[in-house]
Amino acid sequence: MPFPNTEGKHGYDPLFTASEAIAYRRRSGRWQDFPAPDGVIICYQRTLLHQFLATEDVERVEMVFGHLYLLKRTQGRVGVRAGFGIGSPVAAMALEDLIALGTRQYLNIGVAGGIQPALRIGDVTLCTGAVRDEGVSHHYLPPARYVEPSPALTARLRTALTRRSAPLVEGPTWTIDAPFRETVEELRQYRAEGVLTVEMEAAALFAVAQVRKVEIASAFVISDLLGETWEPQFDAAEVAQNLIALYELAVELFVRNG
Amino acid at the residue 31? W
- What does the DSSP 8-state code read for residue 72? G
- What's the chain's length in residues? 258
Asked if residue 2 belongs to a domain, the reply is no
- Distance CA(239)–CA(243), nearest Å, equals 6
- Domain CATH for 147: 3.40.50.1580
Asked if residue 227 belongs to a domain, the reply is yes
**Whether the predicted pLDDT of 251 surpasses 90:** yes
Asked if residue 7 belongs to a domain, the reply is no
Mean pLDDT (whole number) for 208-229: 97
Asked if residue 26 belongs to a domain, the reply is yes
**CB within 8 Å of 187: residues ≥ 6 apart:** 115, 226, 227
In the chain, the number of structural domains is 1
Which long-range contacts (C-beta less than 8 Å, at least 24 apart) are formed by 246-250? 246/109, 246/124, 246/219, 246/221, 247/41, 247/43, 247/48, 247/51, 247/52, 247/80, 247/109, 249/160, 249/161, 249/164, 250/41, 250/107, 250/109, 250/157
Asked if residue 4 belongs to a domain, the reply is no
pLDDT of residue 258: 60
Dihedral class, residue 28 (left if φ above 0, else alpha if ψ from -120 to 50, else beta): alpha
* pLDDT tens-digit series, residues 23-52: 999 999 988 899 999 999 999 999 999 999
In which domain, by residue range, is 186 found?
Answer: 17-257
CB-based burial, 212-231: b 16+ in 10 Å, e otherwise? bebbbbbbbbbbbbbeeeee
CB 218 within 8 A of CB 147: no
Asked if residue 5 belongs to a domain, the reply is no
Say if residue 4 is preceded by a cis peptide, omega within 30 of 0: yes
Asked if residue 31 belongs to a domain, the reply is yes
pTM higher than the cut 0.75? yes
What average pLDDT is seen over the chain? 95
* pLDDT tens-digit series, residues 197-214: 999 999 999 999 999 999
Asked if residue 146 belongs to a domain, the reply is yes
* pLDDT tens-digit series, residues 88-121: 999 999 999 999 999 999 999 999 999 999 999 9
Strand partners, 114: 197, 225
End-to-end CA distance of the chain: 46
pLDDT of residue 257: 75
Q: Of the candidates 186, 84, 170, 95, which has an alpha carbon nearest to the alpha carbon of residue 133?
A: 186
